[in-house]
Amino acid sequence: MQSNSQGYNVNIETVRYPGNGGSTDGFLAHPKDGQPHPGVILVQEWWGIDAHIKDLVQHLADEGYVVLAPDLYHGKVVTEPDEAQKGAMELNKDEAVTEIGQAISYLSGRDDVEPKALGMAGFCMGGMLTWRSAQRYNDRLACIVPFYGGGYNPSAEDMAKITVPILAIFGENDPSIPKSTRDNIEQLIEQQEKDDSKVIVYPHAGHAFMNPDHGMGNADAAADAWAELIAFFKQHLG
C-alpha cells in the first residue's frame, strides 16, 4: 500500500452534508479528470478517520472511484487500543448506520457519481457496520466488501435482506471472529444461492491485517485482498 497522500492522482477534501440532526463531515477523494465515476462508501476502523483510512480512500479513488469515508467519530481520532475499544463500545451502532445512510444519500446525489447505486467497504468495526448497513440500504447499494467485521453473526433472515453481491474477507488467525461465525456466513451465502458472492479467509493473517500501523499488518494478505476488492468493484460497479 502506498503511504498517505503520496503518489495519488486524486483530489481530496473534507465535505459537509446533512446528517446527525444537523450536518456531518466526511473525508472524500475523487479522480482529477473531472469525469463521473462510480461511488464507494468506505467505513472506518475503531481508530477514527486516521492516516490509514485516508490512505485507503485515496488509494481507492486512484482506481477510478469517488470515495467517501463518513466521520462517525466526528473529528475524534484515537491511537491507543483501550481508547479505540472505548470509542467503539460507546458508538451507537444504529445511529452510525443512520449516518452511513446519510452519507450514501450525499454521495449518490453528487454530479460526479454515476451510477447511483454505490459500493461499500468497511474494516474492523466498519466491516460490521457495512453488514448492518447493507441490511438497511440494500436497494441503494450495488455491492459490499466487509473486512473482518467482528460482532456480526447473521441469521438466515439477516442474510436474506442483503441481495447485493458480497465479498467477505477474514484472517484465519483472528481471535475476535470465531471460525463458527465465518462458517455460518459462508453457509448462508451458499444456502441462499448468492452465486455472485464469496468468502475469502487468509490462512496466515489475523485481525486488521490491512492496517500496517498497529502491529497486525500482513503485507502479502493485504496486497492480495486489495486486488480482490478492486476486481470485485470493477465487476459490479465498473
Q: Which CATH number fits domain 10-236: 3.40.50.9100, 3.40.50.2300, 3.40.50.1820, 3.40.718.10?
A: 3.40.50.1820
Rg (CA), the chain: 16
Instruction: Return the pLDDT at 152.
Output: 95
Q: Once rounded to an integer, what is the mean pLDDT over residues 64-89?
A: 93
Q: Once rounded to an integer, what is the mean pLDDT over residues 155-176?
A: 97
Q: Which of 53, 51, 124, 143 is nearest to 84 (CA)?
A: 124
Q: What is the pLDDT of residues 183-238, one digit of tens each?
A: 999 999 999 999 999 999 999 999 999 999 888 899 999 999 999 999 999 999 99
Instruction: Return the pLDDT at 6.
Output: 60
Phi/psi at 160 (5° precision): -65, -25
Instruction: Return the pLDDT at 50.
Output: 96
Provide the whole-model pTM: 0.95
Strand partners, 42: 121
What is the pLDDT of the chain when averaged over all its residues?
94
Per-residue pLDDT at 69 exceeds 90: yes
- What is the maximum span of the chain, computed from C-alpha positions, in angstroms? 46
Q: What is the pLDDT of residues 31-49, one digit of tens each?
A: 999 999 999 999 999 999 9
Instruction: Return the pLDDT at 43.
Output: 98
Do the Cβ atoms of 39 and 119 come closer than 8 Å?
yes
Helices (H) and strands (E) in the chain, counts: 7, 8
Instruction: Return the pLDDT at 1.
Output: 35
Instruction: Return the pLDDT at 63.
Output: 97
Question: Where does residue 220 rank: exposed (0-12), middle (13-18), buried (19+ CB within 10 A)?
Answer: exposed
Grid cell at residue 149: 467485521
